[in-house]
Each structure stands twice: as C-alpha cells, then as structure tokens.
Amino acid sequence: MNKIKTNSRILTILLMIFGAAFMRIMPHYPNFTPIAGMALFGGAYFPNKKTAFIIPVTAMFLSDLILGFHSTMWAVYLSFILIAAIGLSLRKGKKISNIILASTASSVLFFVITNFAVWLAWGIYPMSYTGLIECYIAAIPFFHYTMLGDLFYAGVLFGVFELIQAKFPVIAEAKLSHEETI
C-alpha cells in the first residue's frame, strides 16, 4: 500500500512538472513562463536529489525541442539548475513566505545569469563594464514579466499540490525517502 501511495505522489509531481513545461509552448507574455516554478517545485518535492534536477531539466529540454535553442541556452539551463537547488532548501519549510522569497531570488538569479550571457555572447553591447550595464538596463522591461511569471507559477504549482494532498490523503501520507530511485 505504501508503494501505491508513493507512486501516486510521484506521478502527481511528474504530471504537474510536465504540465508546466507544456505551458511554455503556449502563447504568453515575454518571460512569463513556468521555468522557475518548475525548478523550485521539483527541488522541493522530489524525494531523490538527482531526480529533483533531472525531471525538471528533462521537461524543459522537451519543451525546448519544440521552442528551439539559442546560443545562450547554457545560461538558461545553468539558472534552471541553480533554481532547483534553491527548491531543495524549501523541502523543510514550504511556507508561503519561503516560496515567495525563493521565487523572487530565482527571478533575480535568472535575470543576472541570462543577461550576462547575452552580453557575453550576442555581440550587441560593448565588451566593457558599461556594455554590461547597458545590457542589464535594456533587459529591465522584461524583468517584471519574469518576476510575475515566477511568482504565479510557483504559487500555482505549490498551491495546487497542497490542495491535491488535502483532497487525496493517500498522496499526502506517502512517506518518501531519499533512497528511492525516482
């Protein structure tokens, strides 16, 4: 019975992450995507730390196969992996304030890393401190969409999962160990 509970919980988490990845291919405002929410959620809820990184990255990669790749994808994936690590810190304290703080930190981290990559790789801005600052300033109009998207999707993923656990106690009762394979 415990294996059924565990499998139900993991399947629910998987479906939510892959559902969020699907939302990336739907029309949306620039940067209003579930990227940070997926990574935070995966880090917070998957029992195995490797899986907490692998499943969200796989979901994002599959959606990128449809969306396409660009020269600074390394920065997007690096940000995504670091955001999943922030999600690991939420495992013991999934309070609303912690989720908001983690989501906000994720937005800032994503902004800093990905815009640094744009400055470094795209050749649009001078390769100087001034050019880097110009790049960050030019990206500011998109930051609020990133922040709002991260807060929205993190709220939806964490909130919906808590509602599912309240509605279906079998999912809430599943005791997951870090030794499990998924």
Tell whether the model's pLDDT for residue 66 goes beyond 90. Answer: yes
Reference 83, options 62, 50, 107; nearest CA is 107
What CA–CA distance (Å, rounded) separates 6 from 157? 19
Would you tell me the crossing angle of helices 73-88 and 49-67 to the nearest 10 degrees? 150
Q: What is the pLDDT of residues 147-172, one digit of tens each?
A: 999 999 999 999 999 999 999 888 88
Is 178 contained in some domain?
no
Number of domains in the chain: 1
User: What CATH number should be reported for the domain holding residue 25?
Assistant: 1.10.1760
Alpha-carbon span 37 to 23, nearest angstrom: 12
Average pLDDT, integer, range 132-143: 96
d(CA 54, CA 39): 10
What rounded mean pLDDT belongs to the chain? 90
Decide if pLDDT at 11 tops 50: yes
CA dist 182 and 6 (Å) reads 10
pLDDT at 175 over 80: no
Give the integer Cα–Cα distance in Å for 132 and 113: 12
Give yes or no for residue 125 having a pLDDT over 50. Answer: yes
Supply the DSSP symbol for 62.
Answer: H
Residue numbers of the domain that contains 67: 2-172
Report the pLDDT value the prediction gives residue 1, as an integer from 0 to 100. Answer: 52
C-beta separation of 55 from 178 below 8 A: no
Q: Is residue 162 part of a domain?
A: yes
In a domain, 71, yes or no: yes
Sign of CA dihedral 146, 151, 156, 158: positive
Instruction: Answer whether residue 182 is part of any domain.
Output: no
In this model, does residue 176 exceed pLDDT 70?
no
Residue 174 is predicted with a pLDDT of 74
The pTM assigned to this predicted structure is 0.88
Tokens representing 126 are 């001078």
Q: How large a percentage of the chain has pLDDT more than 90? A: 74
Q: Kindly state the average pLDDT of the residues 125-134.
A: 97
Residue 181 lies in a domain: no
> Is residue 49 in some structural domain?
yes
180 within some domain? no
pLDDT at residue 177, rounded to an integer: 40
CA angle 49, 53, 57 (to 5 degrees): 165
Residue 116 counted as domain residue: yes
